[in-house]
Amino acid sequence: MNIALSLEYDEKSLITACARSERWAQKVLYEEYYSRMMGVCLRYSNDQEEALDILHEGFIKVFKNIAKYQPGTSLSAWIRRIMVNTAIDYYRKSIRRRTEDIEQAYGLSTTDADAVSQCTEKEILEAIQQLSPAYRAVFNLYVIEGYSHKEIAEMLDITESTSRSNLVKGRLKLQALLSSRSYGYGEEDESDRPKH
């Protein structure tokens, strides 16, 4: 917790008040963890609005289950786990609603990896958000959250080979997106336009 909050409320009393559904405590907890958890949700969403939906749904689960939190463990990690699970549930629901095929990744040259290192964190986050939901979910779970392909397969109800394939394709697509930003390939050139 930040210093101002820790002077006024200790974590244990804040959790106890949240378990009693006291709105002031829920507000304090929400405001304390909003930024960090929004960052988690953004990695699993298409845009900020979708991330906000995941965040709000996640905090509802936090407040419903706060009595199950085990004191002595990291509250931040516990909330983060709920946010990741909420994002995965959101992803599963969106997959069921979708009927279109997952877009295919493009091949890259070896120089494209250099372009990735020149991108800002914001550009990388924007590129991750442009990945298809299947690629983005596997990429985030494997690269950022540190799950194995076996764990990802169980969470997303896919095979391990699909998890590996989506990771490779997601990385290639991400590199292509970032390379086009770095080298300006994303802009349409006169020579790229179809001839009439």
In the structure, what pLDDT confidence band is assigned to residue 32 with cuts at 50, 70 and 90? Answer: very high
- For 62-71, 99-108, 120-129, 140-149, which range has the lowest pLDDT when averaged over its residues? 99-108
Higher pLDDT pick, 157 / 187: 157
Q: Write the CATH number for 163.
A: 1.10.10.10
Q: How far apart are CA 96 and CA 98, in angstroms?
A: 6
Are 27 and 69 members of one domain? Answer: yes
Domain boundaries, position 147? 112-186
- For 46-55, 81-90, 121-130, 187-196, which range has the lowest pLDDT when averaged over its residues? 187-196
Say what the pTM is. Answer: 0.55
Spell out the residues 6+ positions from residue 8 whose beta carbon is closer than 8 angstroms to its own: none
Say if residues 183 and 115 touch (Cβ distance below 8 Å): yes
Spell out the residues 6+ positions from residue 1 whose beta carbon is closer than 8 angstroms to its own: 9, 11, 14, 32
- Residue 149 domain-assigned? yes
Q: Is the pLDDT of residue 112 over 70?
A: no
Are 80 and 125 members of one domain? Answer: no
Are 128 and 169 members of one domain? Answer: yes
- Residue 7 domain-assigned? yes
Provide the residue type at 139 as one letter: F
Share above pLDDT 70 across residues of the chain, in percent, rounded to a whole number: 73
Give the total number of structural domains in the chain: 2
Identify the sign of the CA torsion 142, 148, 153, 155. Answer: negative
Q: How would you classify residue 21: left for phi > 0, otherwise alpha for psi between -120 and 50, otherwise beta?
A: left
Q: What is the pLDDT of residues 125-160, one digit of tens each?
A: 888 889 999 999 998 888 888 888 999 999 999 999
